Amino acid sequence: MKEDKAVELFLEGYNCAQSIVANYGFELGLKEKDALKLATGLGAGINYHGQTCGAVLGSYIVLGLHYGIDQARDQEGKARLRMILDAFSEKFIKEYKSLNCKDILGMDVSREDELEELRRKNVFRELYPQVVRTAASILEKLLKEPEV
């Protein structure tokens, strides 16, 4: 399953965004090395700011690669992608009550003391693999059938 590979990449040490983009990017024309580089700064809520979860951002990138537009005036395409991204967000929020990393973790990764506590409590090995799996599962469904 694709979700398992995303989790495997995360457990290898890649961030949540990298795990999603590298897992799905190849099928959409990205080399794995480029996918990993592209998503590097998005982990931990955009470069450890605790904002939008990297697994969400990585999923947006993949959905953009799959459903995005390449014509500036393609308003219908823009609207369709927006609806697909909204569908992703709605499903993710239903599971985690937020798109933000600090809300999901219950602590602020932008604060060094809280980041260290999260690491000490092994939260990134216990909670976040499931967050990556959830994002990948939602993404997988939307790649097959966008529901909009």
Q: How many CB atoms lie within 10 A of CB 15?
A: 25
Three-state SS at 5: helix
Q: Which of 63, 60, 66 minimizes the C-alpha distance to 99?
A: 60
Average pLDDT over residues 51-72: 98
The pLDDT of residue 145: 86
The pLDDT of residue 143: 96
For 111-133, the DSSP string reads: SHHHHHHHHHTTHHHHTHHHHHH
Average pLDDT over residues 73-85: 97
pLDDT digits (tens, 9 = 90+) for 97-128: 999 999 999 999 999 999 999 999 999 999 99
Average pLDDT over residues 52-61: 98
Cross-strand partners of 100? 52
pLDDT digits (tens, 9 = 90+) for 3-19: 999 999 999 999 999 99
Give the residue extent of every domain in the chain. 2-143
The pLDDT of residue 146: 78
pLDDT digits (tens, 9 = 90+) for 18-46: 999 999 999 999 999 999 999 999 999 99
Task: Find all residues with CB under 8 Å of 92, minimum gap 6, and list them.
Answer: 53, 56, 99, 134, 135, 138
Task: Find all residues with CB under 8 Å of 56, minimum gap 6, and list them.
Answer: 88, 89, 92, 99, 135
For 43-101, the DSSP string reads: HIIIIISS-B-HHHHHHHHHHHHHH--SSTT-HHHHHHHHHHHHHHHHHHHHHHS-SBH
The pLDDT of residue 47: 97
C-alpha to C-alpha distance for 34 and 117, rounded to whole angstroms: 32
The pLDDT of residue 148: 65
Query: 111 with 44: CB under 8 angstroms?
Result: no
C-alpha to C-alpha distance for 66 and 57, rounded to whole angstroms: 14
